[in-house]
C-alpha cells in the first residue's frame, strides 16, 4: 500500500501500531495533543505536563505518551515534507484506521499550520557555511617600511560564517586592495544578476 504522506512508500509498521494507540484518547484531547506537537515542531518547547494530563484519562504509560507524540510528529512533518493536502491526508489516515473525528481534528490543525511548518522545515534544511555577518572598513595607507609614499586605499572585510564541518561561527578577515576589490565587486554583481533572473 503506497501512501502519499509517506512519500509514495509503505507506511512504517510502528506508525500503524501507534495509530491504534492514538484512537484510545478522545478526539477533543487529540486536537489539543496535535496543537502541542505542532508547537514542538515549530520550535517552541513542548509542555510535557500538559501532554501527561491530556493522556491521563486513557491511562497511557510513559512509553505510550512518547509513542503518540512520535507518531503525530511523524505524520505532520512527513505530510508537510511531501506537500500533501489535507483531504488526501484525511483519507489516507482513515484507511490506516484512525477514527473519523480524530482525523478531522488532526487535518484541521495540519491545514492551519501547513505553511508555517513548511517554512520551518525550509529553514532547517541542510546549509553549509551560512554567512551571518559582513563588516568592512576602508583604510588609507600613507607610508610603509618598504616605500615612503604609498598613498593607497585598502579595504578590510570581516566575514562571519558558520563553519562547514563544525557548524560554529568562524570569522575570516581579508584585506583587499582597490583594484582587486573592483574585480570582486564586478564578479559578485554578475552573480547577483543571474540570481535575480531566477527569482
Partner 1 sequence: MLLVLSEEHKEHLAFLPQVDAAVGEFGRIALEFLRRGTNPKIYEGAARKLCVPVEMVQHGVEGLMFLMTESSKHMISEVDFLDSVLVLGFGEELNQTLLQLYLQHHSQIRSILSQLPSNLPAYHNLEWRLDVQLASRAVRQQVVPMLTLRLLLTGGGNGGNDRSGRVLQTDPSTLLHLISTLEAALAAMKTSHARRIFRNIK
- Kindly list the residues in this chain that would bind partner 1 in the complex (CB under 8 A): 125-128, 164-165, 167, 187, 191, 194, 198
Distance CA 136, CA 153 (A): 13
Q: Which residue in 118, 103, 112 sits closest to 41, CA to CA?
A: 118
Instruction: Select 148 or 194, whichever has its Cβ closest to partner 1.
Output: 194
Cβ burial, residue 138 (10 Å; 0-12/13-18/19+) = exposed
How far apart are the C-alpha atoms of 99 and 29, rounded to whole Å?
14
Find the shortest distance in angstroms from Cβ 164 to partner 1. Answer: 6
Comparison of 97 and 167: residue with beta carbon closer to partner 1:
167
Q: Helices (H) and strands (E) in the chain — how many of each?
A: 7, 3
Q: How far is the CB of 123 from partner 1 (least distance, A)?
A: 13
Closer Cβ to partner 1, 147 or 188, answer by number: 188
Set of cell numbers at residue 91: 483519507
Closest approach, Cβ 77 to partner 1, in A, equals 14
Q: How far is the CB of 193 from partner 1 (least distance, A)?
A: 10
Residue 49 or 165 with smaller CB distance to partner 1: 165
Amino acid at each position: 500500500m503506497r501512501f502519499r504522506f509517506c512519500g509514495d512508500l509503505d507506511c512504517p509498521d510502528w506508525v500503524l501500531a501507534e495509530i491504534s494507540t492514538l484512537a484510545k484518547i478522545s478526539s477533543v484531547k487529540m486536537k489539543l495533543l496535535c496543537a502541542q506537537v505542532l508547537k514542538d515542531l515549530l520550535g517552541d518547547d513542548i509542555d510535557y505536563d500538559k501532554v501527561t494530563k491530556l493522556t491521563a484519562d486513557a491511562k497511557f504509560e510513559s512509553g505510550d505518551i512518547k509513542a503518540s507524540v512520535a507518531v503525530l510528529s511523524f505524520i505532520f512533518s512527513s505530510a508537510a515534507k511531501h506537500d500533501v493536502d489535507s483531504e488526501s491526508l484525511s483519507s489516507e489516515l482513515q484507511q490506516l484506521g484512525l477514527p473519523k473525528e480524530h482525523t478531522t481534528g488532526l487535518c484541521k490543525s495540519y491545514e492551519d499550520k501547513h505553511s508555517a511548518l513548511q517554512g520551518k522545515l525550509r529553514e532547517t534544511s541542510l546549509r553549509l557555511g551560512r554567512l551571518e555577518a559582513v563588516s568592512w572598513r576602508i583604510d588609507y595607507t600613507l607610508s610603509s617600511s618598504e616605500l615612503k609614499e604609498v598613498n593607497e586605499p585598502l579595504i578590510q572585510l570581516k566575514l562571519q560564517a558558520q563553519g562547514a564541518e563544525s557548524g560554529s561561527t568562524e570569522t575570516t578577515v581579508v584585506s583587499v586592495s582597490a583594484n582587486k576589490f573592483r574585480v570582486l565587486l564586478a564578479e559578485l554583481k554578475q552573480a547577483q544578476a543571474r540570481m535575480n533572473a531566477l527569482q
